[in-house]
Chain A
Amino acid sequence: MISPYPAVTLIAVLFGALTIAGGLVWAERRLLALWQDRYGPNRVGPFGLMQTLADMIKLFFKEDWVPPFADKWVFIMAPAIVMFTVLMSFVVVPFAPGIIISDLNIAVLFFLGMSSLGVYSIVLAGWASDNKYALLGGMRAAAQMLSYEVFMGLSVMGTVLLAGSFDLVDIVNAQRHMWFVVPQFLGFVLFMIAGIAETRRLPFDLPESESELVAGFHSEYSGMKFGMFFVGEYIGILLVSSMITVLFFGGWRGPVLPPIVWYFMKTCFFLVFFILLRAALPRPRFDQLMAWGWKLMLPLALANLLVTGAVKLAFFH
């Protein structure tokens, strides 16, 4: 079943996602500054609101250079892949009852599949740059993202078990009595950590912090290609926040206000929380990060699934 006005929803989601990502650029700088006892951009417009516009204009005017030693078509295609996969994942997110672009009955699998495809863009960017440091950054990013994807899927399986379906609309509807964060708190924590690692946000932003230190997988990118990685990261955070609200916090469910308002409020809360994480936490070393993912998070995700399955079998059948 698809929504009654699919084309309108499609255009609205596309422009909404891009606009909110642009707004996030401003919001992140202002919020990071708020938590760091300083002002963010406050000169370029009222409260610095035109800063994103100024940044975008600057990016458009930069020289769009493809290194002569790089693998040209792969180089050009890599940023497009990340934008593509992230925007495609928005197809299955339910914003309000009836407002969804496509109500797939394997929506959770589709989301997990698209995020796995997103790893390609990093690896291809690192490879196509024909630069040792970019390659190292890309390989590290791929390793990090793959290892955290393993338990991302497992942590979501708890909600799927409770709802009895992979369909996100069914999952939201199954939360009518109690949000899934209550029985699946461990799953929520694991999914949030995995989501942060997938979108390469602090504290898991080694691929980008390396660009501050040495280079990174997007070291050879300038102009709008870099802009695509940049905006794609913000759309990724928006996506992970949306998925957290849909899977664990009841999506658009809420008492008095219209559903779409609840959805946005919950998503905004998680967006602000991700920015707080960036402001507050130090960055772990790469081996610490990998050890945590495989040795701590994966067993916890398996244990969560085991206990959820056992409880559901024992008490609800």
Chain B
Amino acid sequence: MLSIVRTLWDIFLHAFRKRVTIQYPEQKAYLSARYRGRIILSRDPEGGERCVACYLCAVACPVDCIALQATEDSPGRRYPEFFRINFSRCIFCGYCEEACPTYAIQLTPDIEMGEYSRQNMVYEKEHLLISGPGKYPDYNFWRVAGVKIGGKDKGQGEREAPPTDLRSLLP
């Protein structure tokens, strides 16, 4: 019986504590920087698209919500012709971000994506592409990759040695 009275007093004191409710939409919950929210496609620090249309994200996606098509501009830089994510399918797992070799596709802490029609939840490249580098500000894949694109020849990347000349006799 005494424990009942003690419980009553204890619960009564809860009236004088702060309430833990977050009054959305006037107040918003704190989402950390690595929160897996809305997906974006980022650009490198020089302003070009990071995505090289390697299809790794589409393969890694457990629900197959990414669709893209690779194409190349002159001279040799790959980019996606279209890049489509169906957000009504997306489970925001982050596997695509982990699979991406160029830090192009990223998940941001933005969760306000409600729509009335399912068609409006299919985001195209122009909806996904942002103008900045996102979470990884200094990385440019093309500087470290060994391919020849406009402005950089083979052997001119960072930490890259020039290709060996097979026909000369020198070591």
Give me the interface of A with B, judged by CB distance under 8 Å: 33-39, 276-277, 279-281
Contact = CB atoms under 8 A, between A and B. Distances in A.
B20 interface: yes
Contact of B8 (A34, A39, A280): A280
A35 B16 CA distance: 9
Contact of A276 (B11, B19, B21): B11
B116 interface: no
B30 interface: no
B21 A39 contact: yes
A196 B52 CA distance: 70
Given A34-B15, A36-B14, A280 B21 contact: no
Contacts of B21: 38-39
Interface residues of B toward A: which range? 10 to 19
A280 B11 CA distance: 6
Nearest to A34: B15
Given A38-B19, A277-B8, A280-B11, 13 more contacts: A33-B19, A34-B15, A35-B11, A35-B12, A36-B14, A38-B20, A39-B19, A39-B21, A276-B8, A276-B12, A280-B12, A281-B4, A281-B7
A281 B12 CA distance: 12
Contacts, number: 33
Interface of B: 4, 7-8, 10-12, 14-15, 17-21, 23
Contacts of B14: 34-37
Nearest to B18: A37
A34 B15 CA distance: 5
Contacts of B7: 280-281
A37 B11 CA distance: 10
Contacts of A277: 8
Nearest to B20: A37
Contacts of B11: 35, 276, 279-280
Nearest to B13: A35
A38 B17 CA distance: 10
B8 A37 contact: no
Contacts of A34: 14-15, 19
A276 B10 CA distance: 11
Nearest to B14: A35
B144 to A, nearest CB: 52
Nearest to A277: B8
A295 to B, nearest CB: 14
A118 to B, nearest CB: 26
